[in-house]
């Protein structure tokens, strides 16, 4: 800011030359450099997107930690507003559940994804050189004799692809009601479904022909008796799966009902083969001509039921859509043996599953190339997600998939002669609403990651929450 100048009369008693008085009374140009002063603090903050700028009284330290079970390592990221110095400290709490980073008079605390044994307040060693705004500290987890620090996290129960609302659990509930996720109106009322049955995975038809038709303990049966035994197996390859009244078939991400049981759904007048809620018009699933039934997607509904100790029906239980997506991707990885998927939107789904056969159009469709980089990790972040996000609040350890993704295209046009097929990438069709949810979940998850962890060699990095043992 320019200093005020004195009038010429103030210099008369000094008997100075006229040229000198002129210089002293001429205002100097402003030398204000506040727009570039302390570029690490002011200029960098102004360059940030509006949604990432700090609110009043919010700390400038961003913390993120993730636990990689297989290599028993916790990686801690700390993003600072200015370069770290020898005064920047990181300390592990006495109980091993939290870490606190202090920098330039500010501090931030993060709850760790797992308890780290420190034996009292323990100072963490920060890299001394070179000075940086982004710090990374790796903590190796070592269990002492007689402890079981990771036993619960590595149990056989957790290694499975956990998905709620399977046939076995639904069979133990009373008065099961299927409701619309948005308006909570009844889609399948209580008492309509008398029996729930689990279906095998998508490849069951190819496997059942050998498994059930050539069972050793039935080889002695006569022809007609053998055929009768096969007919009683509801999903034998020789039988055609068909929806039945009062019977709910359950697979990984959907239910199969008879049309008459779905009193709260109807066929959409604007989207071919799509089912919508009669009350709010939310898309609930699609018709399935091959089974003469209706498919209701689990991510579009809620479930309410009563137990022996309850006198009233509680509010419907719902789960974040991203967790259903994670379950489906994990199932695909297990069935196909690959971890890269080219996911594209299916405008008018003609069949029953999210990996349905694509349409006949040869026009390239925008898609997402996904790489399931880490199928199981726990993370904690000090950054909040957008208000509409279904993800947990800050500082809560969360089980998730780490997914690398980048924009791509998909086309069903035949391969050019001599061009090899990409065996390491599986094409997967998602219904349009689910594809939109996938994109939004990946973009929102980037908000909890430090800047340096949001990209990796041309891939964008995202997190998708996954189901865990209660």
Q: Over its length of 470 residues, how does the chain's per-residue pLDDT go in tens digits?
A: 455 566 777 666 666 677 666 766 776 555 444 343 333 333 344 444 444 444 433 457 888 999 887 777 888 888 888 888 888 888 888 777 888 888 888 888 888 887 766 545 556 777 666 778 888 888 777 665 555 556 656 666 677 888 999 999 999 998 899 999 999 999 999 989 999 999 876 655 555 554 555 554 444 444 544 454 444 444 554 567 889 999 999 999 999 999 999 999 999 988 888 999 999 999 999 999 989 999 999 999 999 987 655 555 568 999 999 999 999 999 999 988 899 999 999 864 433 444 444 444 567 889 999 999 999 988 988 876 655 555 555 667 889 999 999 999 887 766 666 666 666 899 999 999 999 999 999 999 988 888 888 999 899 999 999 998 76
Asked if residue 402 and residue 277 are part of one domain, the reply reads: no
Q: What is the pLDDT of residue 394?
A: 60
Mapping DSSP onto H, E and C, the string for the chain reads CCCCCCCHHHHHHHCCCHHHHHHHHCCCCCCCCCCCCCCCCHHHHHHCCHHHCCCCCCCCCEEEEEEECCCCEEEEEEECCCCCCCCCEEEECCCCCEEEEEECCEEEEEECCCCCCCCCCEEECCCCCCCCCEEEEEEECCCCCCCCCCCCCCCHHHHCCCCCCCHHHHHCCEEEEEEECCCCCEEECCCCCCEEEECCCCCHHHHHHHHHHCCHHHCCCCHHHHHHHHHCCCCCCCCCCCCCCCEEEECCCEEEECHHHCCCEEECCCCCCEEEECCCCCEEEEEECCCCEEEEEHHHEEEEEECCCCCCCCCCECCCHHHHHHHHHHHHHHHHCCCEEEEEEECCCCCCCCCCCCCCCCCCEEEEEEEEEEEEEEEEECCCCCCCCCCCCCCCCEEEEEEEEEEEEECCCCCCCCCCCCCCEEEEEEEHHHHHHHHHHHHHHHHHCCHHHCEECCEEEEEEECCCCC
Asked whether residue 412 is assigned to any structural domain, the reply reads yes
Q: Let me know: does 408 contact 342? Beta carbons within 8 Å.
A: yes
pTM of the entire structure?
A: 0.75
Asked whether residue 283 is assigned to any structural domain, the reply reads yes
Asked if residue 273 and residue 177 are part of one domain, the reply reads: yes
Q: What is the pLDDT of residue 133?
A: 84
Asked whether residue 110 is assigned to any structural domain, the reply reads yes
Side-chain-side CA neighbours of 106 within 13 Å: the count stands at: 15
Asked whether residue 48 is assigned to any structural domain, the reply reads no
Distance CA 369, CA 62 (A): 29
Q: What is the pLDDT of residue 40?
A: 37
Distance CA 46, CA 453 (A): 21
Asked if residue 442 and residue 331 are part of one domain, the reply reads: yes
Domain of 94 in residue numbering reads as 62-140
Q: Let me know: does 405 contact 329? Beta carbons within 8 Å.
A: no
Q: Give the residue from 281, 306, 331 where a domain finishes.
A: 306
Q: Give the residue from 125, 140, 155 where a domain finishes.
A: 140
Distance CA 448, CA 379 (A): 10
Q: What is the pLDDT of residue 306?
A: 78
Number of domains forming the structure of the chain: 3
Asked whether residue 2 is assigned to any structural domain, the reply reads no
Per DSSP bridges, beta strands 98-103 and 106-111 are antiparallel
Residue 105 neighbours by CB under 8 Å, 6+ apart: none
Asked if residue 430 and residue 359 are part of one domain, the reply reads: yes
Q: What is the pLDDT of residue 417?
A: 67
Asked if residue 392 and residue 417 are part of one domain, the reply reads: yes
Distance CA 402, CA 379 (A): 10
Asked whether residue 27 is assigned to any structural domain, the reply reads no
Asked if residue 127 and residue 76 are part of one domain, the reply reads: yes
Asked whether residue 432 is assigned to any structural domain, the reply reads yes
Asked if residue 282 and residue 242 are part of one domain, the reply reads: yes
Asked whether residue 186 is assigned to any structural domain, the reply reads yes
Q: Give the residue from 277, 306, 335 where a domain finishes.
A: 306
Which CATH number characterizes residue 190's domain? 2.170.150
Q: What is the pLDDT of residue 84?
A: 82
Residue 439 neighbours by CB under 8 Å, 6+ apart: 368
Asked if residue 434 and residue 326 are part of one domain, the reply reads: yes
Asked if residue 189 and residue 297 are part of one domain, the reply reads: yes
Cα dihedral 181/183/187/192 (nearest 10): 90
Asked if residue 459 and residue 325 are part of one domain, the reply reads: yes
Q: Which token pair is 284? A: 């609930």
Asked if residue 214 and residue 113 are part of one domain, the reply reads: no
Residue matched to tokens 């070592």: 142
Asked if residue 418 and residue 380 are part of one domain, the reply reads: yes
């Amino acid at each position: 800011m320019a200093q005020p100048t004195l009038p010429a009369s103030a210099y008369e008693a000094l008997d100075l030359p006229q040229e000198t008085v002129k210089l002293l009374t001429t205002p100097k140009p402003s030398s204000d450099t506040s727009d570039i002063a302390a570029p690490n603090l002011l200029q960098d903050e102004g360059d940030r997107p509006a949604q990432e700028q700090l609110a009043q009284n919010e700390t400038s330290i961003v913390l993120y930690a993730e636990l990689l079970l297989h290599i028993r390592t916790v990686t801690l990221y700390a993003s600072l507003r200015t370069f770290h110095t020898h005064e920047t400290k990181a300390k592990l709490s006495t109980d091993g559940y939290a870490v606190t980073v202090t920098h330039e008079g500010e501090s931030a605390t993060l709850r760790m994804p797992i308890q780290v044994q420190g034996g009292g307040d323990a100072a963490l060693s920060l890299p001394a050189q070179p000075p940086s705004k982004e710090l990374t500290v790796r903590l190796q987890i070592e269990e002492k004799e007689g402890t079981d620090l990771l036993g619960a996290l590595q149990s056989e129960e957790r290694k499975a692809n956990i998905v709620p609302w399977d046939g076995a659990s639904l069979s133990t509930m009373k008065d099961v009601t299927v409701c619309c996720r948005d308006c909570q109106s009844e889609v399948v009322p209580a008492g309509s479904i008398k029996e729930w049955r689990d279906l095998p995975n998508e490849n069951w038809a190819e496997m059942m022909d050998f498994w059930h038709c050539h069972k050793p303990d039935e080889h002695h049966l006569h022809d007609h008796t053998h055929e009768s035994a096969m007919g009683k197996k509801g999903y034998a390859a020789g039988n055609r799966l068909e929806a039945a009244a009062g019977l709910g078939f359950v697979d990984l991400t959907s239910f199969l009902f008879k049309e008459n049981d779905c009193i709260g759904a109807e066929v959409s007048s604007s989207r071919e083969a799509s089912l919508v809620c009669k009350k709010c018009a939310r898309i609930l699933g699609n018709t399935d001509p091959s089974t003469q039934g209706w498919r209701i997607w689990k991510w579009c509904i809620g479930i309410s039921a009563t137990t022996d100790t309850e006198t009233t029906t509680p509010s419907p239980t719902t789960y974040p859509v991203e967790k259903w997506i994670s379950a489906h991707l994990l199932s695909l990885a297990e069935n196909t043996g690959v971890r890269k998927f080219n996911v594209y939107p299916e405008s008018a789904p003609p069949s029953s599953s999210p990996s349905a056969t694509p349409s006949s159009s040869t026009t390239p469709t925008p898609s997402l190339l996904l790489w399931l980089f880490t199928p199981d990790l726990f993370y904690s972040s000090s950054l909040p997600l957008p208000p509409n996000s279904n993800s947990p609040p800050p500082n809560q350890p969360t089980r998730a998939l780490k997914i690398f993704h980048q924009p791509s295209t998909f086309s069903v046009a035949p391969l050019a002669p001599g061009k090899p097929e990409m065996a390491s990438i599986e094409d997967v069709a998602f219904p349009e609403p689910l594809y939109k949810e996938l994109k939004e979940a990946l973009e929102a998850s980037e908000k909890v990651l430090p800047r340096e962890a949001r990209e990796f060699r041309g891939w964008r990095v995202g997190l998708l929450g996954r189901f865990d043992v209660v």
